Structure 1
Amino acid sequence: MKAATDLPPVGRHAGQPARRHLLSVADLGADGIEEVLRVTDSFVEVSGRAIPKVPALRGKTVVSLFFEDSTRTRLSFETAARRLSADVMTFSAASSSVNKGESLRDTVETIEAMGIDGVVVRHAGSGVPWQVARWLRQAAVINGGDGWHEHPTQALLDCYTITRMLAGAPAHEGGPGSLAGVRIAIVGDIRHSRVARSDVLAFSALGAHVTLVAPPTLLPPSLAGWPVEVSHDLDAVLPTLDVVYLLRLQQERMREALLPSLREYTATYGLTSTRARLLPDDALIMHPGPVNRGVEIAAEVADQPSSVITRQVANGVAVRMAVLYLLLGSGVDLAA
């Protein structure tokens, strides 16, 4: 494996020092995505050890700066940092000086003054990680999800899960980091989904054919520039797929009535047991979580062998270890 100092930057921004951030899948491109997937293989092996820990980030400090509720992403990053022997600081907006009127900039600069190396930012406002990256002088910034905009590490773990699960399958025409020939449908609330946006960028960069399946009210106002096809007929699309990727209805983000009812949505776009039988036998079923069982996916379908939802969670730790290592790594031999 290359030492971290030998790796190219994953993102530089005008007017900033030449340091690295991961704010968007676009910061990586196909080569960068494939590099993350290759490094992840090493950390999957580490995670399988009796003591799943390496000294790669010993002496580094990583902050979870979460202004929005999260279970999977926050715990995944914190677990990843600890397995790399980094020190972890957890920020909770509910118990911080933000509630006393402190600005986001003052909060960020205060935390950096404590001496940190990396910040994972999650915020309900689109673009906040970019702003944080402009304010910070030393620390690398990782986008842990911003508004409706992006969630790059979710897309990376999804790419890792698909490429490794489909390795050797007839549909998998490319190399180990490629999705060439793979047909993926992203189903559900595309309009409000940062996961969908990052996944479309990542899947298409690796050569997949992506179809968005949703009612018109749950699609973005414009799909100009999206390298996708669109369908409103899930039943017609399912038999053609290698991967069906289901999204949660984000009712907390909906400011208007976009659906007649949850029951009608499930009847048309939910992956019921009957509908799941339309999938090819080797197709993967995916979901970024949290799962609303009985809405976008039937409980029995979420638990069947072709569902890799828990595999995504497990892979997420290894992928985030890879991202942290590539951004902050000291070049320590991972075999140590």
Structure 2
Amino acid sequence: MRLRTQAVGLAAASVAMIATLAACGTSSAADTPGSSSQKGTFAADSGTIVVGNLPDETSGESGYQPVADYLAKQTGLKVKFFPTTSYPSLIAAAVAGKVDVFTAGALEYETVKNKGGKFTPVSLQMSPGATQPGYYSEAWVPKNSPITSVSQFKGKKVCFVDPTSTSGFLFGLNMLNEAGISVKQDGQDASGNPKFDDFTAVFAGSHPKSAQAVAAGQCDVGFADDIDTKDYVSGLKSIKKEFVPGVPWEVSDTLPAGVKAKVTKALQTANPDTMKAAGVTITKAYSASNAGVVPFKPSYYTTIDNLCKNIPAANCAPS
């Protein structure tokens, strides 16, 4: 399940949340009878695995429920959600150690790591029909537009998803940069969103809305992922696309070694057939955007590493 951004301009809120969450503390496995042989800390308590997630725009937590149920069966522990409303708040929760497991976008993998979060990515989520874990960020224009290349986006009104979206903003900037268009920021607009010299950025708020705005002529061109766009919008044509690495599941390094091993194994085997065999109900919300997982490979994220180096707006650096 690819995660979607739902709010903009939340950097300050993210910092505040980190401070608040850090003050709450964690529970040690050694504090619980019978667990002293495995030292480590849990986000809540030694009987619970806390999963951090950004609720899907339409289905809330339900899309993640089968994986949570499978995790509970495989570990023998209670599993509960720590739902958040934005990428910054999810990153804040992970960095503050308030979740034992979390799933987020490709960029959040880099950001949590660079901000000192103690997590190990263990698997990548697969989309239905995909042959590799990931999806595409695409450059869209109206079907009858004379624009045929991203280099023609200079001076245009460009729709993006939101400043924290990997496929709906940062990969768009990367395509613009590769086409020779400056992506250097020129301050902020009245809403606190970044401004640019070579084009006018419009933040639509979601992938479908970005595509719809292009189709309606509210933007000359725009960026959005391939799946959400084809599901909701007609009247567009794609003129370029770049592959975005899949969404990782990450496990806290502070968990007791034995617990971490069980959680890791569960998240590396959380495929529909395996989950069904364990007695887990596969929901429609899960099946709609998830076909299971494959083991994580660091080399798979080379494109994200390059994005962090070449696109300042990615803001992957430690803060």
- State the TM-score, normalizing by the size of structure 2: 0.30
